[in-house]
Amino acid sequence: MSESKNKNISRRDFLKAGALSSLALGPLLLGGCDSDGEQSFKGRGKAKNVIFMVSDGMSAGTFNMADLIKRRKYGNGSHWVDLYNSDRRFHRGIMDMASLNSPITGSAAAASSWGCGHRVNNLSVNMGPNGEEYTPINQIFKDAGKKTGLVTTTRITHATPAGFSVNIDHRNKEDEIALRYLQREYDVMLGGGARHFEAASRDDDKNLISKFADKNYQIVQTRQELTQASANKRLLGLFYDSHLPYSIDRQTIDEHQQNIPTIAEMTQTALKHLENQDGFILQVEGGRVDHGAHANDASGMLYDQVAFDDAIKVALDFVDQRDDTLLIITTDHGNANPALNAAGEGYNDSAPFFDRLQEFRHSNTWILSELDSHSTVSEIRERVEYATRLGIGKDEAQALRKALNGNLDTIYDIKSNPSSVLGSILANYTSVSFTSGGHTSDFVELAALGPGIENLDYFTRNTELFDLMVNVAGLNENMVLASQ
Ligand SMILES: [Zn+2]
């Protein structure tokens, strides 16, 4: 590649696998530039650190209702909305999260769009449709001498953390993703998913826990161990076999509360471990907001969004003390588009109905784990009342019983499964309902603070965040080339 041609091609070129550098460049859009992102980028190299916070599957209604529930239950709105009401300097816009093959993205393609600057097909992680391997952003930061961290409430091998960290053709290969984490040696990894690290539950019987320990990682598996971890060693925290329990179930079950850290606690610890003179990148994912939406589970979803909001506070406190950190707060797609709906004369019932969620003890997912196809109508009513304090009708319990047996007909086919039916039953009492059980094409909420935000337009394409992060951290072509 000639020097002059070099200048006319986006820096993105250098971030791609070398052999494929002439393919599929895709648009480079930073601050409206059309040829060279670096030259027109304002504030290049001004951020030592990047914190990327993603509430997975947060629809507009989730954003709204988490603020409402905080306001009505605790007397203060969400930190995210407070940011918009503050006099801080911040960016706010919307973002188009489409993947390469669909206007509806999955989490893997979404995280990849930020993690490598390319739209990829759903289910693949930082890999193009012809097998191109795009260097993930954690690797780029690591090769530039910065520390790297991942925090999530899902399995640490799940799509969103993987999207900043590895190349793999299918997100479901989580045993393999754990192996790649071992090879790539990122500094801090905190979440669930112990099953992909333990010999007994891995297909290849490898004990990755001991292999990480051999590489001088501290391994922590409880909340107490996390708080006691020494800050000058690399850290792998696996606090549950699969995903961490929903916040509302954690709050109710003492053992979970003692043993499993909150996302805010994990974020706090990660920042303590990552802060250093050369900088870091940290991704924080509130991953189960998405699962709650898939399951039409208002309490599971909303209390996890509230917990994510507590982690936002930790990040805001961190950046408040400094001007060298870019903080991005966003979501990867809408999911099932929940909303608080109109209820009653003059909509007077909506708020008191919504307030019933404050009395819930468990997620819908927990309720369904207590039921099966043999559950009777009275058993169903008893379990629902125990978890929600709501006395549902016999006809409603009967509908759920049918759904549990796979023989309930609904007009919209996808609403016939037990999760959707339980979600619909509770909507009669809370006025919170869902449109489906899957992702949506909505443009998503995007907030950012710190150096480089002046490069963002009000409408952002997902891949632009990759350019923003790399440029604001001052990573240049040579550094990136060195990582290939
Ligand atoms: Zn997602």
- Whether residue 186 lies inside any domain: the answer is yes
Residue 484 has pLDDT above 90, yes or no: no
Phi, psi of 410 (to 5 degrees): -125, 155
Cα–ligand 1 centroid distance for 343 (angstroms): 30
Distance in Å, CA 54 to ligand 1 centroid: 9
Per the CB < 8 A criterion, the answer to whether 34 and 467 are in contact is: no
Q: Is residue 38 part of a domain?
A: no
Cα 143 from Cα 480, distance rounded (Å) = 8
What pLDDT does 25 receive? 37
Question: What spacing in Å lies between the alpha carbon of 441 and ligand 1's midpoint?
Answer: 12
CA of 154 to the centre of ligand 1 (A): 11
CA–centroid distance, residue 477 to ligand 1 (Å)? 30
Alpha carbon of 377 to ligand 1 centroid (Å): 35
pLDDT, residue 477, reads: 42
Same domain, yes or no: 277 and 415: no
Cα atoms in the Cβ-side hemisphere of radius 13 Å centred on 421 = 26
Mean pLDDT of 209-225: 98
CA of 128 relative to ligand 1 center, distance in Å? 19
- Region 172-182: mean pLDDT is 98
CA of 6 to the centre of ligand 1 (A): 35
How confident is residue 266, by pLDDT bands cut at 50, 70 and 90? very high
- DSSP for 208-236? HHHHHHHTTEEEE-SHHHHHH--TTSEEE
- Same domain (yes/no): 372, 328: no
Does residue 392 carry a pLDDT above 60?
yes
What is the Å distance from ligand 1's center to 161 Cα? 11
Q: Looking at residues 423-437, what average pLDDT do you find?
A: 98
pLDDT at 466 over 60: yes
212 and 112 together in one domain: yes
The pLDDT assigned to 321 comes to 83
In a domain, 403, yes or no: yes
Residue 23 lies in a domain: no
Which residue did the predictor score with more confidence, 133 or 29?
133
- Considering the domain architecture, whether residues 323 and 191 belong to the same structural domain is answered as yes
Q: Quote the CA–CA distance of 391 and 425 in Å, as a whole number.
A: 11
Evaluate if residue 28 carries a pLDDT over 70: no
355: in domain? no
Mean pLDDT along residues 172-183:
98
In the three-class reduction of DSSP (H, G, I as helix; E, B as strand; rest coil), residue 300 is classed as: helix
Residue 343: pLDDT band (50, 70, 90) is very high
Q: Cα torsion at 417, 423, 428, 433 (round to 10°)?
A: -110
Q: Are residues 373 and 444 located together in one domain of the fold?
A: no
| 28 in any annotated domain | no
What average pLDDT is seen over the chain?
Answer: 92
Q: Are residues 139 and 265 in the same domain?
A: yes
- Does 214 share its domain with 188? yes
239 lies in the same domain as 166: yes
* pLDDT on residue 9: 37
CATH number, domain with residue 249: 3.40.720.10
Statement to judge: residues 402 and 290 lie in one domain: no
- The answer on pLDDT for 236 being more than 70 is yes
pLDDT at 404 over 80: yes
The answer to whether residue 395 scores a pLDDT higher than 50 is: yes
Q: Do 150 and 61 share a structural domain?
A: yes
pLDDT band of residue 7 (cuts 50, 70, 90) is very low
Token match 């002439």: residue? 22
Q: What is the pLDDT of residue 13?
A: 41
Q: How far is CA 7 from CA 2, 4, 164, 259, in A?
A: 9, 5, 27, 53
Residue 34 lies in a domain: no
Distance from the CA of 175 to the center of ligand 1, in angstroms? 20
CA of 204 to the centre of ligand 1 (A): 28
Q: Are residues 71 and 190 in the same domain?
A: yes
d(CA 376, ligand 1 centre) in Å = 35
Structural domains in the chain (count): 2
Q: Which domain holds residue 424?
A: 364-433
Instruction: Render pLDDT for 80-131 as a digit per residue (tens, 0 to 9).
Output: 999 999 999 999 999 999 999 999 999 999 999 999 999 999 999 999 999 9
pLDDT reported for residue 476: 62
Q: What is the mean pLDDT of residues 244-267?
A: 98
135 within some domain: yes
- Cβ neighbours for 139, distance < 8 A, ≥ 6 positions apart: 165, 184, 483
Supply φ then ψ for residue 313, to 5 degrees: -60, -40
Which is nearest to 302 in space by CA: 54, 70, 53? 70
CA of 56 to the centre of ligand 1 (A): 4
Residues 285 and 401 reside in one and the same domain: no
Q: Ligand 1: distance of its center to the CA of 333 in Å?
A: 6
Which tens digits make up the pLDDT trace of 34-78? 345 566 889 999 999 999 999 999 999 999 999 999 999 999 999
> What's the CA gap between 412 and 431, in Å, rounded?
19
Strands (E) in 11-135, as ranges, are 49-55, 90-96
- Compute the average pLDDT of residues 312-321: 96
Centre of ligand 1 to C-alpha 466, Å, is 17
The pLDDT of residue 40: 80
